[in-house]
Structure 1
Amino acid sequence: MCGIFCLLSLSPAESPHDQRLHQNLRRRGPDSAQDLTVSHAGPFSRCLFSAHVLHMRGPLTRQPVRDAGGNVLLWNGEVFAGVPVAPDENDTAVVARRLSACDAPAELVSALARVRGPWAFVYYQRARRCLWFGRDFFGRRSLLWRFDAEAEALTLTSVAGDACGAGPWLEVPAAGVYRIDLEAGRVAGTGGGVTLEVYPWATAAAGGGLPSPENVPSNCVATMNPWGLVLAPPVSPLNTAVPEEVEDGVLRSPPASRVAAEDLEAALASRERTGEVDRLIAVLSEAVQRRVLSLPSDVGDESPPPPPNEDHASVAVLFSGGIDSMILAALADRHVPAHQPIDLLNVAFKLQEKRRQQPAKKAKNKKDGEDQNKPAATAAASETPSPFDVPDRLTGRAGLRELRALNPARRWNFVEVNVTEEELREARRERVRHLVQPLDTVLDDSIGCAMWFAARGEGVVTRAAGDQTPFASLAKVLLTGIGADEQLAGYSRHRVRFKTSGHQGLVQELAMELGRISSRNLGRDDRIIADHGKEARFPYLDEDVVDYLNSLPVWRKADLSLPRGVGEKLLLRQAARALGLGSSALLPKRAMQFGSRIAKMENGRERASDRCNRLLSA
């Protein structure tokens, strides 16, 4: 993983150096930094390539990678499947060799489509005098762009710099890959801009293939590539089948899925044994295995040393104690060597004293049984002695007890990341507001801040004697549960859509969720987590996992006629029970901003979609 940067200049004049942008790139890749300039005779004067590498596997491969033919690669990604990478190889070097062997656009597009794993890249193909760039199918790695009309330059970068400057930053749409013909010259009528040839994923091509104009930098024009080439998508289309759900004008669910909300074991026993649970566990387990074993090795003199002692892990989980993170931790336990610890990073924002002293409110007008199946550990924070005993802290501790029961021999480092209001303000001002760009909503602020502190992993752990010890997680790999809710109907809006439009509406909502995850979540999360020189890995978005879930009809994945804590993500809850997990399998969805209580530290009247002034004036 790394921070990549490319400045494509139409003018021989030097562009001003953005110190903030350079600092942000350096934090992403602390193990190696290097610049390379390629001069070009023609309309485009030069390309400046810069890479900051976080070494993750095989021998350290410095970037930019330049081959004997003069081709240049910037690669921010991981190859988990699709292309063979030996244990003693670095995937950047493997990808560079494969791209070097390509000549025609069809060959290069085919080579990229075979890669399974997250990636963003920039590739200068010298023989063809062109520049390629793009993101993977789900957009799991950040790539931003903007065109500076005054400097006559197009910038591509993993992360933005100062909010001010020439034109707004935009996320490169994860709709395919893009190519710039460096011999083509300027685009007429665009103020000297750039023509972008689009090579869309086949699924995007069905809808036209081109990104919407508002997602393309000013003075640039996106056009379909002249050969009509598309990339083969890595997953099968979403199963859109729906049951016969209307009877006498009343919506109904498949009878086989109706079970008592209070008895998940009955759900496992009553549903037809078609193997979905075992198959989901199998593909998820393999996805986790790929991500916890692709770690820095001892190959080469420049490889980083192993963790300094047995307290420090190589793998951490962003951990709330909810079902998504519990399953990731349980599966990581299968594959991380037994002598190594696993860090569980649990973030909490300090509750204000006046709010903690309020008596617990009685539940009124609760919909969908949202208080059912809630474990005793989630009692109101006002009844607990610590200002950091927020809901996610309490469920996290309960989840820790379940994991210790599953494997008492494992050292589980439950890292309590405690954040005060003063620390929050400083981090937002100095780091988060720059990283969240170009997103700017209240939701982006809340999740971005919470995730930044959690990923940093600085807090305390409680040892066997009950003593709390300061602790900083050194794990470079962070497993996160994003993708589970989007595929298994975990959000409250899915329940609303199901109530109003039945299974057909729910299918449409799930298709939209996965289609927008790159712009709504993943680019932001990558920028936030990588700021600590760590890498986010998303097992629920592994291509094999998504492909399997896409193959299932919606009623095999969720039954939203059942109450919260059971009906949503029902298949995943059954998998949790099969893995031996307990009450965590019945926890309803709780968003990070509410579970960590960061939302309580700000204006309660704000809506998640409102533009966040704190990101502008912090």
Structure 2
Amino acid sequence: MCGILMYHNGSKKENSSHEQFSLQFEGAEENTFENVSSVFKTKNVDDIFINKCSYIVSRGPNFSGFESINNGKTLLLSSVLSLRSPFTKQPIKNERFIIQYNGELYNSEIDANCNDTKFINDKLLDIEDKNVNKDLIDEEIFKLIRSLKGEFAYNIIDTFTGRNYFGRDSIGKRSLSYCFINQTKELIVTSCNGSSIDSPYKENFINCLNNVIYIYDSENNKVIDSNLINKGDYKVNETVIETEEEVEKLEIALYKKLKESCYKRLTSIHPLNSKPSDKINVGVLFSGGLDCSLILILLCEIIMENNLINHFSLNLLNVAFENPRTSMQPDDVPDRKLGIKSSSEIMEKFQDVDIKFHKINVSSDEYLKYKPVVLDLMYPKDTEMDLSIAIAFYFASKQLPLGDKKSLVLFSGLGADELFGGYHKFNNKSNEELIPELNKQINNIHDRNLNRDDKVIAINGVELRYPFLDEDVVEWSTSFVPLNLKRNKTILRNIARNMLSFRDISLEPKRAIQFGSKSAKMFDSKIKGTDKSS
């Protein structure tokens, strides 16, 4: 997981004389925003760039690399949380391309000893070696990006043509936004832009859409957003299948796909400086509900079946808030009670797996202290509902008071509700009404959830992984799972009950995190989720 920041200062005259130089900041003591920003100030780096650095450095605590190119008019900062061997510094420069990359790839060509950032660089070197005609270079870049499978955002600069290629994966699992000022020819591409920025930048920041390959053409000073990774939106299967044999086949197929998705997201974790004898701490955002419980069960099965008991420790991160309005304490909130119940049931079955349940209690004072921080990070989202969700994830990723046991990778059950009709509002809809709703949910998840969640979680130097949002899982689920198995997550409940023998977990109703953790309506019962937070 990494942070991406690129600033092209266009026609700003006061910055036209910048020198061209590189800087590297490695290790926890050296790689801090205070240190990075103080060095930048001695180099007369643009204030707008320094302002954005605070959101980037924390995302990659192992390393930050800075490059200025184009006679100092283009500035790049990449931070790195190294989770795959070998450790690869960023930005990567080769003779033609400069690469900034944030995410994880699970392409079959990438083996356990191959870093995915290096994989992208090698593919770009192949393009360079082909001496591709300038008119065809776009298609070669598109072909590369379309071949990538995983959770990622990127910024690639072709120094020969002066074109920037940037964007998110087809589903949009990593945050990325950009600001383009046409008059001054300025372009900013960043993992997190925040709200503490002056006009005209603030008004011109746009969250990148999923599935779009953006191009900034410096020669013609325009941003092109017409090129797609996939040809179009995901569309749900509109059929109904009720025969027992057909339903069972679908359940088995989905179980296998989810398990494979969890397997590649678990076994690709190789934190920097970890020893073979050390257990790797892996976190699960755990409310005790159906979705996260299924993820935990699958991880346990993988650990047992692949003899990985001594390799991984699973930390269940259960967030609960002290609610002063209701006088409810963290141990009394629904997610705490359910989390303990579900985890106990799973631990009983997988007694050899190292599973720890962590209570992350948030006082009302801590809520008020960090509320402005979370509002800043999640910008431009600004509603009470967004805040109540984001602040729960923020504290989960902060993981206090785990200390040295901090999990650098967190697994999330996000996507199950969108794919399999988990929201209560779907229950009474006709099939005709349900189809467009399901299509909307999965195709808008990049804007509704993913951009916000990545910003507030990654700032704590950890990475989120989404087994339900694996490309193969999403493509198969939308194409083959019939409508009747998508009401109230019927197919997932069947898997939990019939295949995994967790009857109680299969019956758990949907409960949104803001209500289960009691982060919503902390001080005012009349406030609405759609109200703007301040």
Report the TM-score range of the alignment, normalised by the length of the smaller protein: 0.7 to 0.9
Write the distance in 2 (CA, Å) between the matches of 1:134 and 1:331.
Answer: 31
| Residue of 261, 268, 276 corresponding to 1:287 | 261
1:27-66 superposed matches below 5 A: 27-39=58-70, 46-66=73-93
The one-letter amino acid paired with 2:406 is L
Q: What's 1:108 paired with? A: 141
Give the superposition deviation at 1:317: 0.3
Report the secondary structure of 1:587's partner residue.
coil
Q: Tell me if the contact between 1:458 and 1:473 (Cα under 8 Å) persists in the aligned partners.
A: no
Matched with 2:117 is: 92
Which stretch has the larger CA shift, 449-458 or 12-21? 12-21
Determine which of 477, 486, 504 is the counterpart of 2:432.
504
Aligned partner of residue 355 in structure 1, secondary structure: coil
Closer, same or farther: CA 29–341 of 1 in aligned 2, 3 Å = same
- C-alpha distance in structure 1 between counterparts of 2:277 and 2:481, whole Å: 48
The residue number in structure 2 matching 1:548 is: 476
**Cα separation, 2, equivalents of 1:425 and 1:546:** 37
For 1:446 and 1:334, the matched residues in 2 are separated by: 33
SS in 1 for 2:444: helix
CA contact (8 A) 1:66 1:73 kept: yes
Equivalent position to 1:305, from 257, 271, 274: 274
Change (3 A) 1:606 1:100: farther
Matched, 1:196 2:224: yes
**1:147 maps to 2:116:** no
Change (3 A) 1:593 1:31: same
Structure 2 residue corresponding to 1:485, chosen from 417, 442, 463? 417
Counterpart of 1:350, as a letter, is: E
Q: Residues 419 and 51 (structure 1 numbering): CA distance in 2 closer, same or farther, change over 3 Å?
A: same
Residue type matched to 2:350 in 1? N
CA-CA distance at 1:64 after TM superposition? 0.5
- Measure how far apart 1:471 and its partner are: 5.7
Residue 196 of structure 1, CA deviation? 2.5
Structure 2 residue 361 is the aligned partner of structure 1 residue 418: yes
The residue aligned with 2:54 is 23
* Separation of aligned partners in 2, 1:159 and 1:473: 27
Match of 1:400 among 314, 333, 343: 343
How far apart are 1:540 and its partner, in Å?
A: 0.2
Q: In 2, distance between residues paired with 1:494 and 1:99?
A: 45
- When residues 273 and 489 of structure 1 are mapped into structure 2, their CA distance, relative to the original with a 3 A threshold, is closer
2:424 is the counterpart of 1:495: no
Match of 1:448 among 387, 390, 396: 390
Amino acid at match of 1:287: S
- Equivalent residues of 2:419, 2:477 under 8 A apart: yes
Shift of 1:307: 9.3
Indicate yes or no: 2:532 matched with 1:611: yes
Q: Is the 8 A contact 2:68 2:74 kept in 1?
A: yes
Q: Secondary structure at the match of 2:14?
A: coil
Q: Is the 8 A contact 1:18 1:161 kept in 2?
A: no
- Report if the CA contact (8 A) 1:503-1:554 is conserved: no
Secondary structure at the counterpart of residue 331 of structure 2 = coil
Deviates more, 1:50-59 or 1:406-415: 406-415
SS in 2 for 1:458: coil
CA separation of 1:105/1:148 partners in 2, compared to 1, >3 Å: closer, same or farther? closer
2:235 is aligned, of 230, 234, 238, to: 238
Q: Return the offset for 1:9.
A: 1.8
Write the distance in 1 (CA, Å) between the matches of 2:282 and 2:213.
Answer: 31
Distance 2:298 2:454 in 1: 22
Q: Any residues of structure 2 matched to 1:150-161 within 5 Å, and which?
A: 152-161=185-194
Q: Quick one: structure 1 residues 197 and 423, their matched pair in 2 at CA, closer, same or farther if it must change by over 3 Å?
A: closer
1:72 is aligned to 2:98: yes
What is the alpha-carbon distance in structure 2 between the residues aligned to residue 273 and residue 88 of structure 1? Answer: 39
Q: In 2, Cα distance between the equivalents of 1:504 and 1:203?
A: 24
Counterpart-to-counterpart distance in 2, 1:387 and 1:516:
32
Q: Aligned pair 1:516/2:513, yes or no?
A: no
Offset of residue 338 of structure 1: 1.0
Which residue is 2:317 aligned to? 345
Q: Deviations over 1:595-614 (max 9, x none)?
A: 0001141322222222212x
- In the alignment, which residue of structure 1 is the partner of 2:25? none
1:391 alignment counterpart: 334
Give a deviation string over 1:207-235, Cα, whole Å, max 9, x none.
xxxxxxxxxxxxxxxxxxxxxxxxxx8xx
**Aligned AA (2:411):** L
Structure 1 residue 547 displacement after superposition:
1.6
Q: Structure 2 stretches of 5 or more lacking a match?
A: 16-45
Indicate conservation of the 8 Å contact 2:98/2:157, yes or no: yes
**Could you tell me how far apart the structure 2 residues matched to 1:595 and 1:573 are?**
20
Distance 1:133 1:272, change over 3 A: closer
Pair 308,160 (structure 1): closer, same or farther in 2 beyond 3 Å? farther
Answer with 1 or 2: which has the greater Rg.
1
Gaps of 5+ in 1: 187-193, 205-232, 244-253, 258-269, 298-302, 357-380, 460-469, 560-567, 614-618
- Name the amino acid aligned to 1:47: T
TM-score by length of 2: 0.86
Structure 1 residues 592 and 75 mapped into 2: Cα distance closer, same or farther (>3 Å)?
same
Q: Is the 8 A contact 2:250 2:481 kept in 1?
A: no
Tell me, yes or no, if the aligned pair for 1:351 and 1:390 is still in contact at 8 Å. no
Q: Are residue 585 (structure 1) and residue 513 (structure 2) matched?
A: no
C-alpha distance in structure 1 between counterparts of 2:436 and 2:247, whole Å: 27
Q: Is 1:171 equivalent to 2:225 in the alignment?
A: no
Q: CA, structure 1 residues 453+197, in 2 after alignment: closer, same or farther (shift >3 Å)?
A: closer
Q: 1:596 to 1:473 in 2, by over 3 A?
A: farther
| Mapping 1:119-130, distance limit 5 Å | 119-130=152-163
TM-superposed deviation, 1:320: 0.4
> C-alpha root-mean-square deviation of aligned residues, in Å?
2.3
Q: Secondary structure at the match of 1:78?
A: strand
The aligned residue for residue 328 of structure 1 is 295
- Segment of structure 1 superposing worse, 150-159 or 485-494: 150-159
Question: How big is the shift at 1:486?
Answer: 0.2
Letter aligned with residue 56 of structure 1: L
Shift of 1:121: 0.6
- Range with bigger deviation, 195-204 or 517-526: 195-204
The answer to whether the 8 Å contact 1:415/1:458 transfers is: no
The match for 2:32 is none
Q: Show the counterpart of 1:227.
A: none
Structure 2 match to 1:572: 492
Q: SS at 2:58's partner residue?
A: helix
Q: Secondary structure at the match of 1:275?
A: helix
Residue type at the aligned position of 2:424? S
Identity across aligned pairs (percent)? 28
SS at match of 1:445: helix
**Residue 457 of structure 1 contacts residue 472 of structure 1 at CA under 8 Å; is this kept in 2?**
no
**Aligned counterpart, 2:3:** 3
